[in-house]
Structure formats: C-alpha cells, structure tokens
Amino acid sequence: MQKKIKIYKKIFTKILEAKKILIISHRNPDWDTIGSATWLKRIIDSIKSNKKVELFCVDNIPEKLKFIPDTQKYSNNFSTNYDLIIFVDTASIWQTWLENNFSEIFNKKNYNTISIDHHISNELFARQNLVLWNYPSATAIIYEMAKILNLEIDTGAATCLLSWLLTDTWNFSHSNTNSLSLKYASELIQLWADKDYIINNFFRKNDFLTLKTWGKIFSNSFLDKEILTSYIKTEQLQKIGATTENISWAISYLNTCSKIKLTSMLYEKDGNIKGSFRTLHDDVDVSKMAKKFGWWGHKKAAWFTIKGKIEIEKTIDFEKN
C-alpha cells in the first residue's frame, strides 16, 4: 500500500505542477472512461487554481451516457499545447485513434503523459503508468486516490463515480461485482450520489431505434455447441435507420442465454470488423481468444478489431437453434 500511496502522490504532484491538462478517453467511449475523465476533471477543478482542464475523445459521447455529469464538456478537437496528458481506462495507443495523427505526444521525452487503467492488456505506453488490473475499473483507482489524498468529492463527482458502478456491474449482476464495488457504492450514496437519476436514465430509457437494432441482433443469433454468436452488418443498420451507437449493450442481454459458455458479437465500422466476447464462467478466459487480434479487455469481457467485412456463408435457422 505504501508504494501505491507514493505513486498516487507522484501523479497528483504532476497534476499540481501542470497549467494546461488534457484528459483523454478511449474511442467508442463507455461508462468507465467517461466516469473516470469527468470525475478527474472535477478533482482538478476543485483545486481552484488557474489550471485549464480539457476533455477529449475522438468519438462523440453516446446519447445513452450523456446523463453523466460534464459529458457536454468533451471535445474531439485536438492540439498538442498541453503540459500534461492523462489517459484514462485506455490500454493502448490505438484505442485513442491518435497514433496516426498525433504520434509526437507519445514521445515520452517531449511530453508528460500519465495512464490510469485497469486492463491486463495495458501496453504501458505513457511516461507514468498506474495500471492496477485487479481493480474493477479505472474509476475505482481514481476514487481510491482521491480518498487517500483527502481530495474533495462533491455530489456531482459522486454521481460520476456511481454511474460507473451501477452500469458496468449491470446493477450488481455482473461478475465484476465484488466487496470493493459494494463498499464504494455505499460510500458514494452516503456522499449523495443520485442513484435514482442513474437508474432512470440508463436502465429505464432505450429509444426505439436501439430496440429495433437489438431485435435484429437477436434475430441474427445462432448457437454452435456452447457458443452464442450474433452480428449486424452495415446495410442492416442502414435499413433500420440506426448507427453503431445503437448496438451498445445488446451483448449484455445475449450473454444471459442459458446453457452457453460464451457469447460473441460482431459489427462493421469504418472498414473494420468490431468484435466482443463475454462469458459468465470462471473457467473461460475470453482474453485468450481476443489476443489473436488487436485486442483489449479482461478475462470475462474482451474486445478486438480486424480489417474486413462480415460475410455469412450460410443461412442458419434461428428457430432450430
């Protein structure tokens, strides 16, 4: 613990020394990268100094996650005029989509960069890497840092953090629910985090296009032994009038199918095939499968990207499967 406290203090010292800070969320942003970034910005803003703190993500924030406080402050315009760049919940450079356009920021000799992450796949690409892969989220790491350093946690910040806990654990039903998750949730509610606001905006609101998209994904599903697979092609999305944003979280429902070992879902974006693996079984490690491609993730949830298009070789009768 003493070593970790020393690292937390070192990171916060770098934050205190910087005048202009950029916090980067990974592309296709989810609740953890958004919750981490917005929460960290609130911590830094609470110092009440003349610091300028900006949030960056190359992709737009999904409509379904815009209820998280401060998401309207994100920008997808980027410059290199920063004293410090912090990456949150990001395992590798390619996840930011910056490697082709702004490679100079990854020269550790020229820029102060910090990575705060919990993925076992993290490539330790920053000058200072705080990677605790046994933690349930990047948000949990930042919350622990704030507690140890006695930093201010207001109601909005607490709601940012609880947004991650409730959504990523799927209301404490996923395998990443543990004593730490429940402990932190209890502490955040005591700090007046608005759990009803989160539940009403995330779990009880899905627009019509999202439901239609999920319906198509479900109808495309098929079983091969103990593996449930589904997909959706670009032309199918276009026919519905939806976008890839409407795909999110369909796999969480697919993964509830009984008598399966794992779930796989594919979709197309920007000339690539995006894939996700999920499992609820302790004896299955989907990260080993994803490692064969450009991947990131965990033992029970992993993602990958490869070039190409989805091609279906035969029609599978859903009713027989």
182 SS3 class? helix
Where exactly are the structural domains of the chain?
Answer: 2-201, 208-320
Could you give the percent of the chain with pLDDT greater than 90?
Answer: 39
Amino acid at 265: M
Torsion, Cα 25 91 133 66, to 10 degrees, reads 20
Is beta strand 294-297 parallel, antiparallel or unpaired with respect to 52-56? unpaired
Mean pLDDT, the chain, rounded, equals 86
pLDDT one-digit tens code per residue, 108-133: 566 789 999 988 888 898 999 999 98
Contact criterion met (CB below 8 Å) for 51 and 22: no
Could you give the percent of the chain with pLDDT greater than 70?
Answer: 92
* Confidence at residue 107, expressed as pLDDT on a 0 to 100 scale: 61
**Of the candidate ranges 11-20, 44-53, 142-151, 273-282, the one whose mean pLDDT is the lowest:** 44-53
Q: Which of 191, 152, 160 is nearest to 48 (CA)?
A: 152
b/e string for 188-221 if b means 16 or more Cβ within 10 A?
beeeebbbeebeebbeeeeeeebebbbebbeebb
Rg (CA), the chain: 20
Q: What is the CATH number of domain 208-320?
A: 3.10.310.30
pLDDT band at 104 (very low <50, low <70, confident <90, very high): low
50 SS3 class? coil
Question: d(Cα 98, Cα 96) in Å, to the nearest integer?
Answer: 5
Is beta strand 84-88 parallel, antiparallel or unpaired with respect to 112-117? parallel
**Of the candidate ranges 46-50, 112-116, 230-234, 317-321, the one whose mean pLDDT is the lowest:** 317-321
Q: Which of 128 and 318 is assigned the larger pLDDT? A: 128
pLDDT one-digit tens code per residue, 130-177: 999 888 888 889 999 999 999 888 888 888 888 878 887 778 877 777
* Furthest-apart CA atoms within the chain: distance in Å: 64
Query: Given 3.40.50.970, 1.10.760.10, 3.90.1640.10, 3.30.470.10, which CATH number is that of 2-201?
Result: 3.90.1640.10
Contact criterion met (CB below 8 Å) for 310 and 231: yes
Q: What is the 3-state secondary structure (H, E, C) of 252-299?
A: HHHCCCCCCCEEEEEEEECCEEEEEEECCCCCCCHHHHHCCCEEEECC
Q: What is the pTM of this model?
A: 0.79
pLDDT one-digit tens code per residue, 201-236: 888 888 899 999 999 999 999 999 899 999 999 999
